Amino acid sequence: MTTHIVESTKETVRSGYLDPAAEPVAVVESGDTVSYPHTWTHWGNEAVFGMSFAEREPLRHRYPHGPYSMLGPVEILGATPGDAVECTLTSLRTIDWGWNSFPLGVGALPNDFKEPYVHYFRFDEARETAEFTHAIRFPMAPFLGVAGAEPAGSQPVSAILGGAYGGNLVLRDFIVGSSLFLPVMKQGARIWIGDVHALQGDGVVDQTAIETAAEDIRICYRLHKNVALRSPLLETNSAWICIGFGESLDDALVACLREVIHWLSSASGIQEAEVYALASMSVSFRITQYSHQTASAYSSTPPKAVHAVISKEIFPAEIRDRIDLWLRPA
């Protein structure tokens, strides 16, 4: 297997969007790894440590598609619509700093604060701890916020958006060792990544996590042929995670639940009515992000998102094996 190196440059980064016109930054075979060293911070690497909010604000307006420095696309040889690509995060080391911020008019409480906010963090050398105020210390849990295989069509897509192709998932479980399965929607899949986080809570209620960049990211890409996946699916050591999007949390929960029923029934052979009951008894539905923008500087507004955590331990080995074979057919 081959490791490909993709540096962040003006040629490989698109600030805030997935670009169908971009040439591939790497063409890889199934099982290859892509290393992304020295990724950029938001707004084309213009976000720097210690900037005041007033200094940062013009950047938001300079990049109307969104803040994320998106790297890509990576083309997977042989990928065609109807397939799925398994993206396994094998390494993620952040840079030594990050920030949390909220402008006015965004987040779950868009009108509750009179002043915008920004707080900068310095991380320890081991990248284990971020120290906040009042001697509060957070254990870091770095993850990748945006990952998507280009949707069908030739129009650029804001990386703020999320949907069946992936995109702005901000799913904090996408840490090292987990695998994100993305449906292929065009020849070669054309996968983009961006938006590195050091830590985030479910809901991301003020609209940002601890935003950062990476000294190195490594992702192994595996192609699985003829996998009837309709939306992104994350697999961790202990769970499968489905995600649903909507204009409201009600819509997102319903979309997520329907995806759980459809996917788990298809993959396991359990009847849909039984999956519905199982979901009520054992599946944990969590708010992925409460995205809300009443005064956005961007051309798109992210959907609200809910994810469902399906614990593996409740299933016998026979069903777990059946699901694994569905995701990774021989």
The three-class DSSP label of residue 251 is helix
3-327 has which fold?
A: Jelly Rolls (2.60.120)
- Residue 146's pLDDT band (cuts 50, 70, 90): very high
Give CA–CA dist 125/121, Å, rounded: 13
- pTM, 2 dp: 0.96
Q: Which residues contact 46 (CB under 8 A, 6 or more apart)?
A: 59, 62
Find all residues with CB under 8 Å of 200, minimum gap 6, and list them: 141, 143, 145, 170, 172, 209, 210
CB-based contacts of 19: which residues, under 8 Å, 6+ apart?
Answer: 73, 156
At 92-129, the pLDDT tens digits run 999 999 999 999 888 999 999 999 999 999 999 999 99
Please give the radius of gyration of the chain, using alpha carbons only, rounded to the nearest integer: 19
Q: What is the pLDDT of residues 184-230, one digit of tens each?
A: 999 999 999 999 999 999 999 999 999 999 999 999 999 999 999 99
Q: What is the mean pLDDT of residues 126-133?
A: 96
Report pLDDT digits (tens) over 273-291: 999 999 999 999 999 999 8
Residue given tokens 């998106």 in the structure block: 70
Confidence of residue 299 (pLDDT cuts 50, 70, 90): confident
pLDDT in tens, 22-34: 999 999 999 999 9
Is the alpha carbon torsion for 75, 38, 243, 111 positive or negative? negative
Give residue limits of the domains in the chain.
3-327
Note the helical H segments in the chain: 42-45, 53-62, 249-268, 272-282, 317-327
Is residue 82 very low, low, confident or very high in pLDDT (cuts 50, 70, 90)? Answer: very high
**CA 199 from centre of chain:** 13
Per the CB < 8 A criterion, the answer to whether 67 and 43 are in contact is yes
What pLDDT, on the 0 to 100 scale, is given for residue 294? 72
279: its two tokens: 């979901």
- So what's the pLDDT on residue 226? 97
At 242, the pLDDT band (50, 70, 90 cuts) reads very high
User: For residue 121, what pLDDT is reported?
Assistant: 98
pLDDT tops 90 at residue 295: no
pLDDT the model gives residue 281: 98
Q: 266 falls in which pLDDT band (50, 70, 90)?
A: very high
